[in-house]
Amino acid sequence: MKRVITILFTVLICFLLQTTIFQALALADVVPNLLLIVTVAFGYMRGEKEGIFVGLFCGLLIDCVFGDIIGICSLIYMVVGYLNGLCNKLYYSEHITVTVTLVALSDLIYNFFYYIIEFLFRNRLNFFFYLRRIIIPELVYTVLISILLYKLLHTINNLLEQSEQKEA
C-alpha cells in the first residue's frame, strides 16, 4: 500500500512540474515528458505489471486533463511501461546508460504513435516537420532531465524496497 501511495504521489508531483514549472522553462516550445520518465523508470525497475499500472495512471491523467479522447495517451503509456518492464531482467541498479537509452527509445515510440493517432489519421502527412519541431527537441530535453530524475526515482525505489523487506 505504501508503494502505491508513493507512486501515485510521485506521478502527481511530476505531472504538476511538467504542466507548470517546465512550461515556463520550455526550450524550442517543447517540454520534457516527466511522466514518460516515471513510466520508464518504474517499468524498468519493477517489471511489466508495475510499468503498465504507472503507464495507465500517467496516461489517464494526461487524457483527462488535456485529451480530446480519453484512452489515447493511456494506451501509449501502458505499452511503453510494458515494454520497459520486459527490460527488468536486464536491470542494473547503478547503470544509468541503459535507462537513458530506454527513455530515448520510449520517447521515440511515444511520439511516433502519438503522431500516427493524432495527425496521420487526420491526413496531416508532414512527418518530417513534426520530427524536426517536436520529436527531436523533446527527445533531447527529456533525456537530459531523465539523468537527474532517474537518480531520484531510483532512490525512492530503494527506500520502498528496504521498507518492504523490513515489514516482511
Please report the pLDDT score of residue 89 as a whole number: 82
**What are 72's three cell numbers?**
489515447
How confident is the model over 129-157, as a mean pLDDT?
Answer: 93
- Per-residue pLDDT reduced to its tens digit, 3-27: 999 999 999 999 999 999 999 888 8
Please report the pLDDT score of residue 93 as a whole number: 66
What domains sit in the chain, N to C, each tagged with a CATH number? 2-163 (1.10.1760.20)
Task: Return the exposure string of 61-84: e unless at least 16 CB atoms fall within 10 Å of the residue's CB, then b.
Answer: bbbeeebeeeebbbebbbbbbbbb
- Is the predicted pLDDT of residue 155 greater than 90, yes or no? yes
Confidence of residue 123 (pLDDT cuts 50, 70, 90): confident
- Per-residue pLDDT reduced to its tens digit, 31-88: 999 999 999 999 999 999 999 999 999 999 999 999 888 999 999 999 999 999 999 8
| CA 21 remoteness from chain centre | 17
**Are 57 and 11 contacting, i.e. CB atoms less than 8 angstroms apart?**
yes
- Is the predicted pLDDT of residue 119 greater than 90, yes or no? no
Report the predicted TM-score, pTM, of the whole model to 2 decimal places.
0.93
